Amino acid sequence: MSEVAKTSRRKWLLFAPLGVAAGCGVGFYAMLNGMRTGSFDPRGVPSTLVGRPVPDFSLPAMEGIDKPALAAADLRGLGRAAVVNFWASWCVPCIVEHPQLMRLARQGVPVFGVNYKDQLPGAQAFLTRHGNPFTRLGVDAPGRVAIDWGVYGVPETYFLDKEGLVRWRWAGPITPEVFDQDLTPLLRRYA
């Protein structure tokens, strides 16, 4: 290779990082523009569980809370719609959604809880302070069950039909708007 060709190649290599940065900038701009126009939804990552039965798992009960442990067998063939909620005491959005879980429990909808990567004293205090909507409550301290469910972070909620098939997933807090616009129609459809 000639000296001129080597020098030319080096010059192009100097501009490569600039090209990568420009490409990232364009992508970031497109994402922000999508958020501004409402066409980008960070919760829009689909779940591979929708339309399928829950994965096999078995979790221990939370010590000091009078609720039984939770396993996949508890969610299959319930004969009624139910909700599985992954939560933690350190999760601020979990506090935001907790009144909606209490509302579901008051309506007679079974709410199954999975306490995710939490400390026992904090989780117990959370339930004492805010109330315990859970029919059953399992502890997923290492987070392995959450991985099998495809959980990205807490809170995350799954809606199950009468047969125990996952029909809906919501990543983020269930707000009153989500409850009314998304969850209530599901309850009517699968009740």
Is the pTM above the cut of 0.85?
Answer: no
Q: What is the pLDDT of residue 191?
A: 79
Q: What is the mean pLDDT of residues 5-20?
A: 63
For the range 53-59, what are the long-range contacts, defined as Cβ-Cβ under 8 Å and sequence gap of 24 or more? Answer: 53/163, 53/164, 53/165, 53/166, 54/84, 54/149, 54/158, 54/160, 54/164, 54/166, 55/145, 55/148, 55/149, 56/148, 57/138, 57/145, 57/148, 58/138, 59/114, 59/138, 59/139, 59/140, 59/145
Q: What is the pLDDT of residue 103?
A: 98
pLDDT per residue as tens digits for the range 69-93: 999 999 998 999 999 999 999 999 9
Q: What is the pLDDT of residue 126?
A: 98
> Domain residue spans in the chain?
3-40, 48-190
pLDDT per residue as tens digits for the range 97-118: 999 999 999 999 999 999 999 9
For domain 48-190, the CATH superfamily is Glutaredoxin (3.40.30.10)
Integer Cα distance of 150 and 55 in angstroms: 10
pLDDT per residue as tens digits for the range 121-151: 999 999 999 999 999 999 999 999 999 999 9
